[in-house]
Amino acid sequence: KIGQVTVTFSDCDHGSVQYNFDDGRTGTFALARIASRPGCVTRVGDGVARKRDTGLGNDNP
């Protein structure tokens, strides 16, 4: 064991990695999706969960 890593996703496109090494080094860095994932459900401004637009014409309005 050399430490601990926690990966958290806030939505389909964003996340973060927090690490704590046993030697005292710690940090956090952001993750961002660089490619689309069909069918990914995300929340929009009105709080309603919707599937992400996949460009296939069969997504939720």
Q: pLDDT tens for residues 49-60?
A: 555 554 544 444
d(CA 51, CA 29): 26
User: Domain segments of the chain: what residues?
Assistant: 3-33+42-51
9-23 as b/e: b if 16+ CB within 10 A: eeebeeeeeeeeeee
pLDDT range class, residue 42, cuts 50, 70, 90: low
Residue the block writes with tokens 């997504």: 59
**pLDDT of amino acid 52:** 52
Both ends of the chain: CA-CA distance in Å?
Answer: 47
Residue 11 has pLDDT above 90, yes or no: no
Residue 61 has pLDDT above 50, yes or no: no
8 Å CB contact between 26 and 19: yes
Residue 6 has pLDDT above 80, yes or no: yes
